[in-house]
């Protein structure tokens, strides 16, 4: 019996529904080796020793040979290496005889095999040799010497650690901020930058690019400025948002929940959510706030158990009149009215009538998971799961313990303790899976 390993981590939503970008292939295990099958359960890549997925590529290791396939299973790289990863400019980070180097797609050496570790940076590679770190450029030239305990690129500069102290280096290895701080935080380095700095007394403040204190180190913690405001917490564990002069703009909250270029949402100790603009003006207070996780500037809010939506400016665009709601996806918002789920659009017009009792997930590729239940509610459900389309038609009856839509007419269903690759149009189980396989995703590919 073959075991299937899902290629993407499962971020479980309603009924375990996962927003997948229509995967074409799955990794399966047989007799301790791995291969690929398609959505119909047909083997498309023969068994190998190791197999993983990184973005749209598959990486295999078999009898000392490393191979990278694109999403159409065409070989884009192959060589005799112990390990392989994606490098910069079409090159590859590879491991041979316990040492790492970088080669071209034709196996021409760019960086020789002499380093203990190599990681991608934006403009080169972070390399490690004998526990010391430095940076080499894309041509293999060492541009930051191997003498640091750690180093990372922050857009147009490097933050490094030397003798336990952090400092800032330019891309051409000039010291911009001396190595004298317990910790530094910044997004980029320019004349307007204020850098979060922790001194010897573990107090945090902000310095400028001339290494001068602009905001004194009086805080327990702080974050870099965003749109002119920074989050800080004082010694009494009180949270605030301050401006670049150190003046308090927003206070009296416990945590920073969300921000964009127009609004800030903070949470108080009673779990109320206050929406402010960057002038510190209070726009509204809600009992709950849920950021949209699908890139839409439309966020779910509630007051007194009534749900609606605000836009990225904090303006109410769907009135708070529903008993429950899910997130906007593909132009549809699942909402509860009179204990039944239906769907509305951004004009608050009913697109799918209120007819479903139980739980309703977000739409992905025109399909959402529906779980039949005795009452309508938000949250997870693990019984009587099926699928509906964006017309409100039931395309898979709600009778499975869990269902996950994949693509076309293919889904994954749970019956008892068993998982199946399932064609719901033909009502045919294509391949038997096992629940334990769901947590054994193989991921390859790293960067620093």
One pLDDT digit (tens) per residue for the chain, 448 residues: 343 333 322 222 333 333 335 568 877 777 888 888 888 888 899 999 998 888 889 999 999 999 999 999 999 999 999 999 999 999 999 999 999 999 999 999 999 999 999 999 998 999 999 999 999 999 999 999 999 999 999 989 999 999 999 999 999 999 999 999 999 999 889 888 999 999 999 999 999 999 999 999 999 999 999 999 999 999 999 999 999 999 999 999 999 999 999 999 999 999 999 999 999 999 999 999 999 988 889 999 999 999 999 999 999 999 999 999 999 999 999 999 999 999 999 999 999 999 999 999 999 999 999 999 888 888 767 788 999 999 999 999 999 989 989 888 899 888 887 778 889 999 898 876 644 343 233 344 444 5
In the chain, CATH 2.40.10 sits at 155-239, 254-322
pTM for the whole structure: 0.82
Task: Tell me the three state secondary structure of residue 65.
Answer: strand
| b/e per residue 125-158 (b: at least 16 CB within 10 A) | bbbbeeeebbbbbeeeeebbebebeebebbeebb
Contact 378, 369 (CB under 8 A): no
Task: Tell me the three state secondary structure of residue 181.
Answer: strand
CA 448, chain centre distance (Å) = 15
CA distance 150 to 159: 8
Contacts 24+ apart (CB under 8 A), 9-13: 9/441, 9/443, 10/404, 10/438, 10/439, 12/380, 13/361, 13/362, 13/369
**CATH class as words, domain 155-239:** mainly beta
Closest C-alpha to 376, from 359, 361, 363: 359
Instruction: For domain 254-322, give the CATH number.
Output: 2.40.10
Which residues partner with 215 through β-bridges?
A: 206
């Amino acid at each position: 019996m073959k075991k299937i390993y899902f290629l993407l981590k499962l971020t479980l939503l309603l009924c375990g529904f996962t927003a997948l970008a229509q995967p074409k292939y799955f990794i399966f295990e047989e007799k301790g080796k791995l291969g690929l099958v398609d959505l119909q359960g047909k083997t498309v890549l023969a068994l190998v020793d190791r197999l993983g997925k990184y973005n749209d590529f598959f990486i295999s290791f078999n009898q000392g040979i490393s191979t990278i396939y694109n999403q159409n299973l065409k070989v884009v790289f192959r060589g005799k290496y112990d390990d392989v990863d994606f490098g910069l400019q079409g090159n590859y980070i590879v491991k041979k005889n316990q040492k790492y180097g970088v080669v071209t797609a034709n196996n021409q050496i760019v960086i020789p095999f002499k380093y203990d570790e190599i990681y991608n940076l934006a403009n080169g590679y972070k390399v490690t040799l004998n526990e010391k770190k430095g940076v080499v450029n894309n041509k293999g030239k060492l541009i930051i010497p191997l003498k640091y305990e750690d180093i990372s690129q922050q857009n147009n500069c490097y933050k490094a650690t030397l003798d336990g102290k952090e400092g800032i280096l330019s891309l051409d290895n000039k010291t911009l901020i001396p190595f004298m701080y317990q910790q530094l935080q910044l997004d980029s380095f320019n004349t307007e930058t204020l850098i979060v700095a922790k001194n010897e007394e573990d107090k945090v403040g902000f310095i400028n690019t001339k290494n001068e204190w602009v905001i004194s180190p009086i805080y327990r913690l702080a974050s870099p400025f965003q749109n002119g405001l920074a989050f800080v917490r004082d010694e009494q564990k009180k949270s605030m948002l301050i401006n670049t002069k150190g003046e308090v703009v927003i206070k009296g909250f416990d945590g920073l929940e969300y921000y964009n270029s127009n609004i800030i949402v903070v949470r108080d100790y009673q779990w109320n959510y206050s929406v402010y603009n960057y002038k510190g003006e209070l726009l509204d207070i809600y009992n709950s706030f849920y950021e949209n996780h699908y890139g839409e500037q439309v966020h779910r809010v509630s007051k007194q158990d009534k749900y609606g939506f605000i836009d990225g400016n904090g303006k109410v665009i769907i009135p708070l009149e529903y008993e429950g709601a899910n997130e906007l996806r593909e132009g549809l918002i699942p909402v509860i009215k009179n204990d039944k789920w239906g769907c509305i659009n951004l004009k608050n017009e009913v697109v799918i009538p209120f007819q479903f009792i139980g739980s309703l997930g977000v739409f992905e590729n025109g399909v959402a998971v529906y779980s039949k239940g005795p009452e309508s509610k938000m949250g997870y459900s693990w019984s009587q799961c099926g699928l509906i389309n964006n017309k409100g038609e039931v395309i898979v009856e709600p009778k499975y313990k869990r269902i996950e839509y994949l693509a076309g007419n293919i889904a994954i269903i749970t019956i008892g303790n068993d998982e199946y690759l399932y064609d719901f149009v033909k009502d045919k189980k294509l391949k038997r899976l096992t629940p334990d396989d769901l947590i054994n995703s193989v991921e390859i590919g790293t960067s620093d």
